[in-house]
Amino acid sequence: MNERARRLWAGAEAGAIGYGGVGFVSVGVDHDTPVFAVKSIEAWWTNVGAPRYPDARELFITADAGGSNGHRARLWKAELQRLADELDIAIHVSHFPPGTSKWNKIEHRLFSFISTNWRGRPLRTYETIINLISNTTNRGGLVVRARLDRRRYPTGKKISAKDFRALQIEPDAFHGDWNYVVRPRAKEP
């Protein structure tokens, strides 16, 4: 799938979320680390993706250019490799260029409904947050699933240059630093 086709597919999926479909939100209680970000993707895959796309051999992810899932974060890529190996699927990643995450349709088509749903309500407990997110709907039939992740995600975890070179990352011809595929590594017999 070329870059244009991947972005059109992601846009179609985001459109389905905004006008009906299934949204998924992972709420963490600790640091926003690359490990948390990939664990959230893994939770989405387990709860929504795999049941909805049982024959999928590839997963496409859009991400911001910075933060825990930034295009320079070695730990992000190492965790994606762990997930690709575990699920035995290729993970395509396209990062939004710096300063353009506002183009992310999911930000508008999912989180706008969540914000409207909890407007004016005090968010004092995680239970309240999860319940408000999970009860978000719209006229198009949007269903939102939310989960609370109580695990601890320590900061400062590093990936050595040697370990990073062992990752199966294929850069795309178009801005390979922002667009790449993490291929599952061959399983040892």
37, pLDDT greater than 50 = yes
CB 109 within 8 A of CB 139: no
At 68-125, the pLDDT tens digits run: 888 999 999 999 999 999 999 999 999 988 777 666 777 777 888 888 888 899 989 9
43, pLDDT greater than 80 = yes
CA-wise closest residue to 24 among 145, 149, 105, 148: 145
Euclidean distance between CA atoms 85 and 59, whole angstroms = 13
* pLDDT reported for residue 20: 56
* Mean pLDDT for the stretch of residues 43-55: 91
16, pLDDT greater than 60 = no
pTM of the model: 0.84
The mean pLDDT value of the chain amounts to: 85
Q: Give the start-to-end residue ranges of the domains of the chain.
A: 3-182
Euclidean distance between CA atoms 160 and 175, whole angstroms = 24
9, pLDDT greater than 90 = no
182, pLDDT greater than 80 = yes
Q: Would you place residue 128 in the very low, low, confident or very high pLDDT band (cuts 50, 70, 90)? A: very high
Mean pLDDT is lowest, of 8-22, 58-72, 168-182, for: 8-22
Percent of the chain with pLDDT over 90: 51
Euclidean distance between CA atoms 62 and 96, whole angstroms = 7
